[in-house]
Chains A and B, each alone.
Chain A
Amino acid sequence: MTRNRPTLTNLMAGAALALVAGAPAFAQDGPIKIGVLEDQSGDFAAATTVKVHAIELAAKEINDAGGINGRPVELVIYDTQSDNRRYQEFMRRVIQSDKVDVVFAGFSSASREAYRPIVNQFDGLAFYNNQYEGGVCDNNMIVTGAVPEQQFSTLIPWMMEEYGPNVYTLAADYNFGQISAEWVRQIVEENGGTMVGEEFIPLGVSQFGQTIQNIQATDADFVVTLLVGAAQASYYEQASSASVGLPMASSVNVGQGYEHKRFTPPSLADMYVTTNYIEEIDTPASKDFIERFHAMFPDEPYINQEAANSYIAINLYKQMVERAGTTDHDAVRAVLAEGDVCFDGPSGNVCLDPKSQHMSHTIYLAKVNDDHSISFPKVWNDIEPYWLGDAGCDLTKNDPSAQYTPSSPPPAE
């Protein structure tokens, strides 16, 4: 026994050494793990299941072409069930136990703000591939969705010129709706218009009788609908059957929940939406994207804005990792800071802004016609996500990990 003991210790030490020496080599050669936290059931599933499919498509294309730096992409997908607590739970799991290199997560702004502190705590890297109310200045977040200076600064002045200065806002009652409504208020005032009404609707409300009457009691020229989730989408049918007859403007409808496909015409007629992508966009790049998408997911009901953003995001990440030569977050951010991370994808050419880590977009004004077909009265090319940078957020210099709004901008230095 005593004779064996040193041998055993030696063996153990040897094994341990081998493990220590072998570990980095293995990590370099193993797959690049991407955590995917999206709602595949619950109130938001209609708009977000397609995001998971877009990520699966991008991962398959990357793997078929040899992976990222020769390493295959492995997806770790969890269904967050439209529940903010699930986001927190799964964010901890993908970072701590699955040890993913990057996370793609979130639909509602409430869910993003639920998981963001956890990403900060573990110094993770998360892509938020969703249009939102803007203002997140956080080194651990990269945002590929459109923001108010891209969606509202284009949409609201156009609508006021076309239909008149009196605006009624109907918004979901949580951070997204409240902050977006603030943006609308500010842009309307800047352009000499009047807010004739503003109402915030709790998530899950589906009966709009009184709201419709309130709108009719004002002399609104158009209604800004910032309604979120399947329940609130009932508004369009109810407003249409009460013959409200006002044009609508939105940053979230059609481009996310394809309401024009789900509702009977003409309930969404005269809805105007600024979006960076929807499947009706008639460019060769878009057509090609849809063809590849349907080849992999033939039954996909609609390829929306967030599907394109998710697809773009994974390709941007691929480019940054290839240029950095590693998945190390600081090295990836150093590549982003060079300011030339761009991708020519389904929605045209887009670039990441180093100051805010948000993305430039070509913005399409989509109009829903009486038969629910889509036309594009106007296109704004290459709109930068300028507000955060102009307001004083510069992630290449410091990282406040905060969300700013027009009424609470970054503190002056």
Chain B
Amino acid sequence: MALFQSVFAMLYQFGDTFAFLVISCAGLAVIFGMMGVINLAHGEFIMCGAYVTASAARAGLPLPLAILTGALVAGAVGMVVERLVIRHLYHRPLDSIIATWGISLIATQGVLIVLGSTMQGVGTPLGSIDVGGRSYSLYRLVLMACALGLLGGLYMLFYHSRFGVIARATIQKPQMANALGVNTGRMYGLTFGLGAALAGLAGGLYAPTMTMVPTMGATFIVESFVTVVVGGADIFVGAAPAAAILALIKAGLTAWYGQLFGQIGLLVTVILVIRILPGGLSGWLKGTTR
């Protein structure tokens, strides 16, 4: 029983960290992997999703629907931002970093001015379960399931749907795709919207567990960038295994030495990966299988 209890505790911590990494990096990974745009406003799309989710839930919408609303609104905002700003910077990656950083500053400060420094949150639903004398939040288990569902859903979308085929074609050979009648501009817009919606989904899913403040996106930023950098451009061969490895490192170090070492572990890993595998895990995996 004691063995089961500690194994469950370890699995729970691993799953919890894995879910956080996957959910928070998915939007960033899609936009970076598919479009090559480094979106520094990622955290603010997360904040947007969380704020919309909390408002909708407090207005009486059931939480799952509120989370969906949060994701959709963040996606819509993302498509507008893409049309107005990002579209003009596709071949200027450095400029797009500056532009998205500017958007992030404007969003944080704008929300602070318009909605104030805090917002009332929604409580975490579902309560807790007891396993071997310790209690665990049930909602965190739901988040783990969501992370797996998210990976599965994205895989289906990109590899088994018409949208996925066209999107990948647009990314690999835009001129060719265009010649075959694909409206590449529209595809870019939809892909960016998808990334923003995934960020909004992350915000919505974590809104019930967190403080609602305009700067809340920043707490996701380090983890999501570390995961994408370690993973490389491909979300399935890269970000997902990267999240698993990083979750192992972070959960282990946090369990043995505390939160500080968990954070240090993440950052040391990313430095080593940049030095040894500049293409990230996906670049390395694809390189060896080719």
Contact = CB atoms under 8 A, between A and B. Distances in A.
B127 A243 contact: yes
Contacts, number: 129
A237 B117 contact: no
B116 to A, nearest CB: 7
Given A173-B260, A209-B16, A238 B134 contact: no
A237 B134 contact: no
Interface size class of A (residues with CB under 8 A): 35 or more
B209 A237 contact: yes
A213 B13 contact: yes
Nearest to B256: A210
B259 A240 contact: no
Nearest to B222: A204
Contacts of A240: 123-124
B205 to A, nearest CB: 13
A207 B211 contact: no
Nearest to A233: B211
B175 interface: no
B219 A206 contact: yes
Contact of A242 (B20, B128, B219, B255): B128
B32 to A, nearest CB: 23
B258 A200 contact: yes
A210 B260 contact: no
A375 interface: no
A45 interface: yes
A254 to B, nearest CB: 14
B9 interface: yes
Contact of A262 (B136, B209, B212, B254): B212
A242 B136 contact: yes
Given A200-B260, A241-B209, A263 B118 contact: no
Given A46-B117, A241-B127, A230 B9 contact: no
B127 A211 contact: no
B121 A262 contact: yes
A365 B135 CA distance: 29
B209 to A, nearest CB: 5
Contact of A209 (B123, B124, B140): B140
A16 interface: no
Contacts of B213: 43, 45-46, 230
B200 interface: no
Residue among B112, B116, B118, B136 with max Cβ neighbours from chain A (10 Å): B118
B190 to A, nearest CB: 31
Nearest to A236: B211
A230 B215 contact: yes
B139 interface: yes
A261 to B, nearest CB: 7
Nearest to B122: A264
B214 to A, nearest CB: 8
A204 B215 CA distance: 10
A42 B108 CA distance: 9
Interface in B1-59: 9, 12-13, 16-17, 20
A202 B210 contact: no
A201 B259 contact: yes
B143 to A, nearest CB: 10
A204 B218 contact: yes
A96 interface: no
A210 B259 contact: yes
A41 interface: yes
A296 B109 CA distance: 23
B259 A243 contact: no
B216 interface: yes
B260 A213 contact: no
Contacts of A242: 128, 135-137, 140
A231 interface: yes
A216 interface: yes
Contact of B134 (A173, A205, A213): A213
A207 B112 contact: no
Nearest to A213: B9
B263 interface: yes
A234 B210 contact: yes
Contacts of A267: 123-124
A241 B116 CA distance: 26
Which of B20, B112, B139, B211 gathers the greatest number of chain A CB atoms within 10 Å?
A: B211
Which of B13, B137, B260 has most chain A Cβ within 10 Å? B137
Q: Which 6 A-B pairs have the closest CB atoms?
A: A264-B123, A241-B124, A243-B128, A241-B137, A230-B213, A243-B135
Given A200-B259, A243-B128, 7 more contacts: A43-B215, A206-B219, A209-B140, A210-B13, A237-B121, A262-B121, A264-B123
